[in-house]
Amino acid sequence: MSNTEVTPLTDTLLTPEQVTRAKGTIDHLLSELGRSILGQEELLRLVTTCILARGHLLLEGLPGLGKTELVKSLSALMGLSFRRVQFTPDLLPGDILGSPILEEQDGARRLVFHKGPIFANLLLADEINRATPKTQSALLEAMQEKRVTVLGETHQLPLPFFVLATQNPIELEGTYPLPEAQLDRFTFKISVQGVGPDTLQKIITDRKHGIPPELETIISGDELDSLFEMVDRVHLPEAVANYIARLVTSTHASREDSPEVVKQFVRFGASPRAAIALANTSRAAAILAGKPNVGFDDVKFVASSVLSHRVILDYSARMEGWDSQSLIRKLIEDVPEVGREIPADVQV
């Protein structure tokens, strides 16, 4: 065996040609998504960022805003196997994971596991907060470990595996708020807003019965794997990593250097998983912008989607007009990009 060490591919920096090629593929994906989902450019960029970071996504918004159509369009364009589960109060864990069924084989009866809809690359959990907590929790192992266990037997899920869930605002009747442990498994939580009158007019006039256009696969499995690999190779500078760490630790009210708004209104801050999610999605945001390394602006682009559902506010926050998203925006304003003040003699 040769004594010469071979540097792993994932440790090498991206070349300008690789970044340009990746950005071209992503821009094509965004363009095709824009044909299906009109007037939601920032939403599409955030969703694509989450997928490139191999994260799970929670979309919150009122019915009829195109959340389900967005997920279906993603699966079509990326050539991913797709299953949809409509979450209802009577849904059981076995309806998602699958169940062992008694069958006769070779003259003997035995339990044979029949896979549920979760065995797909992309699972759409539609209106996830309409199911009971017991059914919601059935997704926990799948989202974290990419596998499910039924009657002590473990079954691996196909890769890549994504859970893209939609939920109505939790204040609506007949819903069950997701527990904190479940929310923490979602890399992004994005609030889907309505579109303006110009976009609505275009939907009405250009689409018969509001049906979006048919979409064809534009990214093969090998191309998708290549994109994932390139995201992993985006360089995260030490200064940006330090900014991510300080941003996450500043969500804890117990820290002396946390902003006053955090000390006053935050009950529980973000976990280390939030810092990991910030780093991973910042890498994806950088390559989306055509850069081989992460900048502070990439962290700020994804910060609200990563942190807003991981920071638990005190009851008094709403009385004072604060919600998690507005608090994260304030946090980004208050936490400096550089942890230590630059000496005057080296300032430009």
Which of 233, 260, 278 is where one domain is finished?
233
Instruction: Report yes or no on 16 lying in a domain.
Output: yes
What's the pLDDT at 339?
72
> 242 — phi, psi (to 5°)?
-65, -40
On whether the CB atoms of residues 62 and 167 are closer than 8 A, the answer is no
The reply to whether 239 and 99 lie within a common domain is no
Q: Confidence band (pLDDT; 50, 70, 90) for 344?
A: very low
CA angle 313, 315, 319 (to 5 degrees): 110
Question: Which position has the higher pLDDT, 223 or 347?
Answer: 223
Instruction: Report yes or no on 126 lying in a domain.
Output: yes
Instruction: Report yes or no on 344 lying in a domain.
Output: no
How many structural domains comprise the chain?
2
Cα(176)–Cα(134) distance, rounded to whole angstroms? 11
Instruction: Report yes or no on 64 lying in a domain.
Output: yes
The reply to whether 222 and 251 lie within a common domain is no
In sequence order, the 6+-apart residues with CB closer than 8 A to the CB of 310 are: 183, 184, 251, 269, 270, 271, 273, 274
Query: pLDDT tens digits for 211-239?
Result: 777 888 999 888 999 999 999 999 999 99
The reply to whether 91 and 176 lie within a common domain is yes
163 pLDDT higher than 90 = yes
Question: Which position has the higher pLDDT, 160 or 179?
Answer: 160
CATH number for the domain including 79? 3.40.50.300
CATH number for the domain including 329? 1.10.8.80
Q: Confidence band (pLDDT; 50, 70, 90) for 203?
A: confident
The residue to which tokens 């064809």 are assigned = 216
What's the pLDDT at 209?
61
The reply to whether 191 and 254 lie within a common domain is no
In sequence order, the 6+-apart residues with CB closer than 8 A to the CB of 63 are: 168
User: Hey, what amino acid is at 285?
Assistant: A
The reply to whether 253 and 178 lie within a common domain is no
The reply to whether 161 and 245 lie within a common domain is no
Q: Confidence band (pLDDT; 50, 70, 90) for 158?
A: very high
Instruction: Report yes or no on 56 lying in a domain.
Output: yes
The reply to whether 28 and 142 lie within a common domain is yes
Cα(312)–Cα(308) distance, rounded to whole angstroms? 8
Domain hosting 315: range is: 235-336
Query: pLDDT tens digits for 6-33?
Result: 334 445 788 889 999 999 999 999 999 9
On whether the CB atoms of residues 115 and 155 are closer than 8 A, the answer is yes
Instruction: Report yes or no on 343 lying in a domain.
Output: no
Q: Confidence band (pLDDT; 50, 70, 90) for 347?
A: very low
- What are the angstrom distances between the C-alpha of 27 and each of 20, 46, 49, 56, 68? 10, 13, 12, 21, 22
**Partners of 126 in the β-ladder:** 86
DSSP 189: E
Instruction: Report yes or no on 197 lying in a domain.
Output: yes
The reply to whether 239 and 212 lie within a common domain is no
- What are the angstrom distances between the C-alpha of 41 and each of 9, 35, 47, 124, 213? 33, 11, 10, 21, 17
What's the pLDDT at 300?
96
Query: pLDDT tens digits for 54-87?
Result: 999 999 888 777 888 888 899 899 988 999 999 9
The reply to whether 216 and 240 lie within a common domain is no
Instruction: Report yes or no on 4 lying in a domain.
Output: no
On whether the CB atoms of residues 282 and 42 are closer than 8 A, the answer is no
200 pLDDT higher than 50 = yes
Which of 186, 201, 233 is where one domain is finished?
233
What's the pLDDT at 345?
45
Which of 233, 263, 283 is where one domain is finished?
233
Q: How many residues does the chain have?
A: 348
**Partners of 82 in the β-ladder:** 122
How big is the chain by its Cα radius of gyration, in Å?
Answer: 22
- Specify the pTM: 0.86
Over residues 315-332, mean pLDDT = 88
The reply to whether 127 and 33 lie within a common domain is yes
Query: pLDDT tens digits for 93-134?
Result: 999 999 888 887 777 888 888 899 999 999 999 999 899 888
Q: Confidence band (pLDDT; 50, 70, 90) for 341?
A: low
Cα(258)–Cα(283) distance, rounded to whole angstroms? 26
The reply to whether 167 and 39 lie within a common domain is yes
The reply to whether 22 and 146 lie within a common domain is yes
Query: pLDDT tens digits for 269-317?
Result: 898 999 999 999 999 999 999 999 999 999 999 999 999 999 988 888 8
